[in-house]
């Protein structure tokens, strides 16, 4: 979601002697995620060998949001990938052009384009996401959700799908969305028809794939859309309504601080956070001190912790902050703030860092 730059609450369930765990995707997951995508989608040969590097770059630059669902064994065996979800934010120009001339497999169209040097990329950069999030809003592209089993008769398929839906909502709450464009199989249309989405078009089985001319679509696909205005007018209480609910952030955490908080809400230790970010343990501690200072300045009185009065330390402070940002996911999202003037020296400083 996420990660990568998404805050995903860990949710678990038991499958035989395994535990399901959902977490934010990071750049180190790119190779395994690429193999998963190639297993379940018609990736053309020209993209197949580039896909791991494309995913790694887009995740590292916080352009793509990703979620990994994995099975954790009781033993020390390596976790097994059970599902992945990937999304991004598209420019208005690309989105309008796509809706005017829709084509199947938005995910592979986007990845194929990202593997080449194009003048106007479809996906927004981190800074462009921050600008749109603080402005008129973003167009969200949920690019794919893939899982080990899609058999309706398999209870595990339903468990993975439920977990995917929940982590998708958790990963994207807090953004100011203007529109969502979602492609799905016709068999899954029911999941969107009751949630405020409207069918933009149906792409029939047998349609040639623009990025893979020798292949055709294997089943009917549907392009759904929904806008903030439509949700506010008709469907505010749906799952999609949760995604469109938005408040401006109060704390103004910097990008570096958000990187810590996103991973902390995933339940990662500081040692793991340092390893994922490629920084030292001392750098993680320094960012936590900055987070605590900023939190005390902006958090409402009911959530404040005062070391002098109640002796809160370490994990208690961490718990307060994580509880706050979990309740207010907008604090974890890129958000462009106007430069502010330092009264002491008269110089301008950007609030984002």
Q: Which residues of the chain have pLDDT under 50?
A: 1-14, 302, 307-311, 340-353
Contact 185, 22 (CB under 8 A): no
Confidence (pLDDT) at 78: 84
Based on the number of CB atoms within 10 Å of its own CB, is 181 exposed (0-12), middle (13-18) or buried (19 or more)? buried
Q: What distance in Å separates the CA atoms of residue 94 and residue 100, rounded to the nearest whole number?
A: 10
Confidence (pLDDT) at 72: 86
Q: What distance in Å separates the CA atoms of residue 122 and residue 93, rounded to the nearest whole number?
A: 8
Confidence (pLDDT) at 16: 55
Would you list the domain boundaries of the chain?
Answer: 45-54+84-244, 255-349
Confidence (pLDDT) at 266: 82
Beta partners for residue 243, in sequence order = none
**Average model confidence (pLDDT) across the chain:** 85
> Domain 255-349 carries which CATH code?
1.10.10
186-225 confidence digits (pLDDT tens): 988 887 887 789 999 999 999 999 888 889 999 999 999 9
């Amino acid at each position: 979601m996420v990660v990568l730059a998404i805050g995903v609450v860990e949710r678990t369930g038991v499958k035989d002697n395994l535990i399901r765990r959902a977490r934010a995707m990071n750049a180190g997951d790119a190779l395994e995620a690429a193999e998963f995508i190639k297993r379940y989608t018609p990736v053309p040969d020209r993209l197949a060998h580039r896909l791991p590097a494309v995913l790694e770059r887009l995740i590292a630059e916080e352009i793509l949001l990703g979620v990994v669902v994995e099975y954790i064994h009781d033993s020390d065996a390596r976790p097994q990938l059970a599902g992945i979800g990937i999304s991004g934010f598209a420019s208005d120009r690309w989105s309008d052009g796509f809706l005017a001339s829709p084509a199947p497999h938005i995910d592979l169209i986007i990845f194929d384009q990202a593997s080449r040097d194009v003048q106007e990329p479809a996906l927004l950069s981190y800074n462009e996401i921050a600008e749109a999030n603080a402005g008129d809003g973003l167009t969200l592209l949920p690019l794919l959700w893939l899982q080990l089993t899609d058999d309706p008769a398999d209870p595990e398929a339903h468990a993975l799908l439920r977990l995917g839906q929940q982590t998708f909502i958790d990963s994207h709450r807090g953004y100011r969305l203007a529109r969502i464009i979602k492609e799905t199989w016709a068999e899954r249309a029911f999941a969107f028809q009751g949630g405020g989405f409207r069918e933009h078009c149906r792409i029939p089985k047998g349609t040639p794939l623009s990025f893979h001319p020798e292949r055709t679509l294997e089943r009917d696909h549907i392009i759904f859309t929904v806008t903030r205005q439509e949700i506010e007018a008709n469907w505010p209480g749906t799952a999609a309504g949760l995604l469109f609910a938005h408040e401006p952030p109060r704390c103004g955490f910097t990008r570096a601080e958000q990187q810590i908080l996103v991973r902390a809400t995933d339940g990662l230790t500081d040692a793991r956070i340092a390893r994922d970010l490629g920084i030292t343990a001392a750098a993680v501690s320094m960012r936590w001190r900055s987070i605590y200072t900023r939190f005390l300045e902006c958090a409402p009185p009911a959530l404040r912790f005062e070391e002098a009065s109640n002796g809160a330390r370490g994990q208690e402070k961490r718990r307060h902050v994580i509880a706050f940002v979990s309740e207010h996911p907008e604090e974890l999202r890129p958000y462009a703030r106007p430069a502010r003037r330092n009264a002491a020296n008269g110089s301008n400083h950007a609030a984002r860092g």
